[in-house]
A and B are shown apart, each in its own frame.
Chain A
């Protein structure tokens, strides 16, 4: 199955079994043959239902797969429809086709989405803020269009028509045209109420569905899902998250605009209501009720719910109450969607745990990681910080830190809680910018560089908290850092090799949330290694590990170092530090406190005092709360 369908039947979408594709083929056959056994009126209704599915698919892509919820998705539907209509009305008589109208109608919403996305995503505006801003955006367009009644509101010969919109309801003779593609005598018309239009919509829908399936299961799709789960972590694996979010946002705008153009072409009218609350809440209901993390579930539920509201619309005003009720109930009982839930039930009933692609480790592949030292020879300066300073509100987390690390070094960073160790790592990775000072890596000033570019330059990190993607499989987790430098064929081999090295063989199709604490820690380390960094930052790699695992971690770190990776390790476990037996840097109150070998550090009187004394000192500090800074300088002198 996998062989014939490739990425289209990949793991990130339901439908990997033969029965699924048989049902799919049957559905396509019924769709293609529908004109034979339904009336033209029903066919026109079917066309309308399918137009809604496009809109739902666009929302499913950004919300379900990328984690961006837009409460104003219909804005692009409406913009596409209006712009297509306006251009079409103006050009139809002279050109006798809608070629240009189609292109402009598709391109303009994408352009508008690009501008909005640039402003939002590059300002790192996320989550509910995006949702609300898009909601306000669509309502403002509606408010604007509602007051465009009157003769003076026109673009070319197209009157905007206020509440009545474009089309026959505003008493205009010129209504937005149906799609007509081609030139001169070879122009094909797709009148909204015809068979041709039905087949056009149907074909586009099947292609869009399969195309999106392919996209979400491609390497790009895996990254989208990783962004949904944890955007910040994904950026540290070298992905320009903002650019990817922007691209997907534009793609979903394109699909919505296509939906809007088909809608105008179908009914030859459009009103400002398409920008209103109901037009925007409906796609959210379709996607949420079906299952936002599945394109297939979205298609099915949209069909069913649009049919339901059509039926309810013929029987009074209860549609929105019932749809709202369905949304509330399904969110409470099946938060991941009704269709997804049913599909999951069937999958369990059939005992289908997904097609396990168990790649075996190739023993011929050496453990040699081939960490290209990218122009830096051993013992040359790899990393340097100059007067690095960072404060959070009133807390000075890092003060004038000057640190130099040579290529090929392995060093432990120690210090009591709050010494600034994790802050140092986050500054090095670029999670937040320093207040002042500079970071030089491989001779280049990276102080203002975004995290994904630092990852490209060869900095890999394992943060203190276990920053694995809990809801994804082990395989998916490892594929995120691997996808940069590897071709698809190599990824499987590399994953198998890493799993073997991390003692995680056989877990690759399991969800990370099912792993033990220690296994997750191993995986987090493995993901950092998979980047093939030249500088590896490990923040408490052995937290939560037993003694055997800790020992294994120590051996792994030493082996990586022997292969040429420069490594900084933050660690509290003195046994582990002793096992590594490497030079130590001690931080205290955000300053460099001491440097030296393990023996030098353990004999260092001041170091003993800050570790042992921090408890007693804490008591003293509470007594004399105001002379904290004086106390600090005393310690340092």
Chain B
């Protein structure tokens, strides 16, 4: 094989690792990164998105409609959960963790009872192309583009809309935001719904790449948490990008060289070392450097 083809193969896998980690984490980055809420049922929101997409697809709804619909359903789920359960556990990290874990297992078990142990997965569209005898899927490239699109949209929503401004203000200081006329309960619900909605869209996109079942979410929740924690919360998007770039590299290299299990172990160890060195995540570390550089150059 040509060197160039090997390099392309590695690059493709790297992009793929980045894509999967980003899709797993893109909703949680809002819920944990912005709101500071631990949602152990995050993976189940991805599962909901995948299920809605699959059901719609086999009812004849085009995928391009099914995936946004999946996002809406998951967002509605999120709003309901926030309103009736999660709201009571703000500021109690460990308790919110435990209660959302209860939601997680109840949801996956309910999916098992309602739809059986295996859901029909949606066929991967777009076909494939080959480089040097190895075949690659166009859809994976498309997924990467979708990740960029989702991150861009998230940035626009948080930084350029009135809702984003209110949301950031509420998370910074709910009392102050209330005093300035923001109706904070709605902001909490909507922000949570934004997070689960993104998870739903991610689930819809992922439904076309792999088998889906009631325990799909369990594979994504730990990865999502690791990615978000490593990223930190000073600037969630910078953090997420830095986190998936570094963790994705580790994961793809070790998966390539050994196997998937080694990839996961390496991912955990890498996350561990990063947290050890930068306890509040990469983005906080970057932020601190930037501030102190600015201060000393003055």
Known: A69-B98, A317-B112, A331-B98. A129 touches B105 (CB 8 A): no
Secondary structure of the A contact surface, majority rule: helix
A611 CA to B186 CA in the complex, in Å?
A: 44
> Which residues of chain A are near B112, meaning CB under 8 Å?
317
Does B145 reach chain A (CB closer than 8 Å)? no
The residue on A at minimum CB distance from B113 is A317
A320 CA to B110 CA in the complex, in Å?
A: 9
**Minimal beta-carbon separation of B46 from chain A (angstroms):** 15
Identify the stretch in B126-134, B205-213, B268-276 within 8 Å (CB) of chain A at 4 or more residues.
Answer: B268-276
Does A367 reach chain B (CB closer than 8 Å)? no
Q: Is the CB of A284 within 8 A of B275?
A: no
Q: When each residue 280-298 of chain B gets 1 if its CB lies under 8 Å from chain A and 0 otherwise, what string results? A: 0000000110011011001
> Which residues of chain B are near A319, meaning CB under 8 Å?
109
The residue on B at minimum CB distance from A284 is B98
Q: Is the CB of A327 within 8 A of B94?
A: no
Known: A327-B102, A393-B288. A143 touches B222 (CB 8 A): no
Q: Is the CB of A394 within 8 A of B105?
A: no
Q: Is the CB of A132 within 8 A of B268?
A: no
**B72-119 CB contacts (< 8 Å) to partner A:** 85, 88-89, 92-95, 97-99, 101-106, 108-110, 112-113
The residue on A at minimum CB distance from B260 is A143
A317 CA to B92 CA in the complex, in Å?
A: 31
Interface size, chain B (Cβ < 8 Å): 43
Q: Is the CB of B99 within 8 A of A393?
A: no
Q: Is the CB of B295 within 8 A of A391?
A: yes
**Minimal beta-carbon separation of A276 from chain B (angstroms):** 9
> Which residues of chain A are near B92, meaning CB under 8 Å?
335
Q: Is the CB of B95 within 8 A of A277?
A: no
Other-chain contact of B94, A131, A143, A285, A320 (Cβ < 8 Å): A131
Does A472 reach chain B (CB closer than 8 Å)? no
> Which residues of chain B are near A71, meaning CB under 8 Å?
97, 101
Interface size, chain A (Cβ < 8 Å): 46
Other-chain contact of A321, B113, B264, B275 (Cβ < 8 Å): B113
> Which residues of chain A are near B215, meaning CB under 8 Å?
277
**Minimal beta-carbon separation of A234 from chain B (angstroms):** 18
Q: Is the CB of A331 within 8 A of B265?
A: no
A395 CA to B264 CA in the complex, in Å?
A: 40
A551 CA to B76 CA in the complex, in Å?
A: 59
Identify the stretch in A133-141, A155-163, A371-379, A518-526 within 8 Å (CB) of chain B at 4 or more residues.
Answer: A133-141
Known: A124-B279, A139-B222, A147-B261. A132 touches B101 (CB 8 A): no
Does A153 reach chain B (CB closer than 8 Å)? no
Q: Is the CB of A125 within 8 A of B275?
A: yes
> Which residues of chain B are near A143, meaning CB under 8 Å?
261, 264
Q: Is the CB of B295 within 8 A of A324?
A: no
Q: Is the CB of A328 within 8 A of B99?
A: yes
Other-chain contact of A140, B94, B106, B109, B264 (Cβ < 8 Å): B264
A518 CA to B251 CA in the complex, in Å?
A: 56
A136 CA to B230 CA in the complex, in Å?
A: 14
**Minimal beta-carbon separation of A222 from chain B (angstroms):** 21
A217 CA to B95 CA in the complex, in Å?
A: 25
- New A-B pairs, 12, CB < 8 Å, besides A327-B99, A327-B101: A71-B97, A128-B94, A129-B229, A140-B265, A140-B268, A317-B109, A321-B106, A324-B106, A325-B106, A327-B102, A331-B99, A331-B102
Interface residues of B (CB under 8 A from A): 38, 85, 88-89, 92-95, 97-99, 101-106, 108-110, 112-113, 215, 218, 222, 225-226, 229, 261, 264-265, 268, 272, 275-276, 279, 287-288, 291-292, 294-295, 298
The 4 lowest CB-CB distance pairs between A and B, nearest first, are A324-B106, A394-B295, A327-B102, A320-B109
Q: Can you list 19 contacts pairing A with B, beta carbon distance less than 8 Å?
A: A69-B94, A71-B101, A124-B279, A127-B93, A132-B222, A132-B229, A133-B268, A133-B272, A139-B222, A147-B261, A277-B105, A281-B102, A317-B112, A324-B103, A328-B85, A331-B95, A332-B85, A332-B99, A393-B295
